[in-house]
Amino acid sequence: MTLRRAYVPAHAPRPRRGIRSTRSLTLIITAAATAMATTLVPVFAGDDDGLTLRPVADTTVSQVPQDGDNAVKTTLASCPSLCDGNPRGRRDATLQFAVDRLPDNAVNVRAKLRVYAWQDFAARVLARTVPGDLSAASSPDKLAAAAFGGPAVDRVTKGFNEFDVSGSVRRNGTYTFALSQESLNTRIYWASRENSKEGLHPELVLSYETRTKPSATTTGAPVTALPPPPTTRPTTPPTTTAPAKSPTTTKTATPAPASKPPVTTAAPNGWRLVWGDEFDSGTLDRTKWNLRGAEGRSIDLGCNVDHPQNTFVGDGKLTLRALKEASYCSSQTRQYTQSYLDTMGKASFTYGRFEIRAKSPNKPETSTGLWPAFWLRPDDGGNGEIDVTELPGGADWYSRSTAAIFWDYSPVKQDTRIAVPGGGYPADGYHTYATEWDAKALKWYIDGKLVWTRDRTTTPWYDKAFNKPYNLRLNFQVGGWLGDPDASTRFPADFVVDYVRVYQR
């Protein structure tokens, strides 16, 4: 199929204009204790892992009546009490964040508040931490009594200034930070979340480690935070000969649990099951999956929500449902809700066979702007991506599965669109999509047939991209670079998953 425009994955960060995206981070290096193993989960600005946060609210707390309502202005201001000759001119730039993505076993949390200034100033500025939301920081007196979140910045530079607030952020919750200026009796202006240039918006960048008991892994195939293999079901099923199951014709937000027939066939030759979800329990297994909530990304039109009507399990299947309904997330109201699951901090793998059996919702006339996908991203938050399958809708896309690999979102990418072997298309029933990954090559399969291969001969950056642990992503996006919903797009739309399995040799 000839593309009308360059393909960009549903989950790629939108390119920023005017400033360069931050692609570096300070890695936390720790020694593993004898009885415990530590997993590093660093995150960088611009990634979509849910740990680079934008403010849910911000304002300038001011003693100057003429400042008026500062909650909807494109700049925040800071200034000492004696400001521009006014003996009661103090201003504090305050920002509220909702932290909700830290796992319960997160340790050594690092938090950086990043705020953009337009000029260099010889000024000392510190970040105070105010427990609660902006209302707890409603007056300069309250701010003056607040604790310091970390070391001060002794000189403000043009561009992003970083404040270490790790001493304040330990777990999920609401955090409000105030930039209090201690020297230079004139105002410093900072970019707010209302600024028209998205790349200038403030950010709270989190990284952390998780502690888990060490698990035995085979040499050459390190596994991070890997749950033990299932013990209640036989070693795993086929790629091509699993018995077909009748698709569920209706779904409700609270489906009754139901079991599938037991699996009796062998795992693919040479592979053993190390992780999987058959969706037999009647509810989403939160020990395996994170479900993102109240998250809005700049690359699509929906809110990722943790709602039972958008993500539910029943009849032995997982349904990710996209709805046309208003929802508030990331400080704005959007007109769609959608589902996004990942295994960050719960399971990650270096090498393996990653397999999903699923049914796309996308028909030729009614699916523009609908975009389900199953893909992998590296634990280190850096470059690299493996797309097992992306199934965008619309007349140009509905009939094929997209397989892709990325080094960066510049983009340095390789991708292809693949028809279902033997005819048909991804929404005509359940199809199996798999990627086999080792140190030498990546191979994609649809319904058991090899359809694409990448290796060092096709991909010069293969070794630097694909030799580290990756976690799983499973999501259903509404809107993006391949089209937004139109009048013909049908809601609700269901991406139905029969199983997700990971094998290793």
Tokens representing 330 are 């990331």
By the 10 Å C-beta count (0-12 exposed, 13-18 middle, 19+ buried), 233 is classed as middle
Residue with tokens 């979800």: 277
- CB-side neighbour CA atoms (13 Å) of 85: 0
Q: Of the residues 278, 355, 390, 436, which is catalytic?
A: 390
DSSP 143: H
Q: How far is CA 413 from CA 91, 298, 404, 443, 471, in A?
A: 46, 21, 7, 16, 19
Taking the C-alpha atoms of residue 162 and residue 214, their distance in angstroms, rounded to an integer, is 34
Instruction: Identify the residue whose tokens are 């911000």.
Output: 58
Provide the residue count of the chain. 505
**What is d(CA 505, CA 499) in angstroms, rounded to the nearest whole number?**
20
What is the number of alpha carbons within 13 Å of residue 455 lying toward its C-beta?
A: 9
Triad 99, 104, 110: Cα angle to 5° = 55
Q: What are phi and psi of 93, to 5 degrees?
A: -80, 115
- What does the block give as tokens for 35? 């009885």
Strands (E), 379-464: 385-390, 400-408, 412-419, 431-437, 441-446, 449-455
- Cα 369 to Cα 340, 351, 483, 487: the distances in Å are 16, 32, 5, 11
Count other Cβ atoms within 10 Å, centred on residue 286.
9
φ, ψ (nearest 5 deg) of residue 95 = -140, 130
Residue 390 catalytic?
yes
Point out the catalytic residue in the list 209, 278, 355, 385: 385
What is the radius of gyration, based on Cα positions, of the chain?
Answer: 24
Are 453 and 399 in contact, with CB atoms under 8 Å apart? Answer: no
In angstroms, the CA 293 to CA 282 distance is 20
Which residue, 473, 484, 475, is CA-closest to 300? 484
Helix (H, G, I), strand (E, B) or coil at 97: strand
- Residues near 504 by beta carbon (within 8 Å), at least 6 away in sequence: 218, 221, 223, 271, 272, 274, 349, 351, 352, 353
Are 179 and 190 within 8 A, CB to CB? yes
How many other CB atoms sit within 10 Å of the CB of residue 27? Answer: 12
**What is the SS3 assignment for 349?**
strand
Residues involved in catalysis: 385, 390
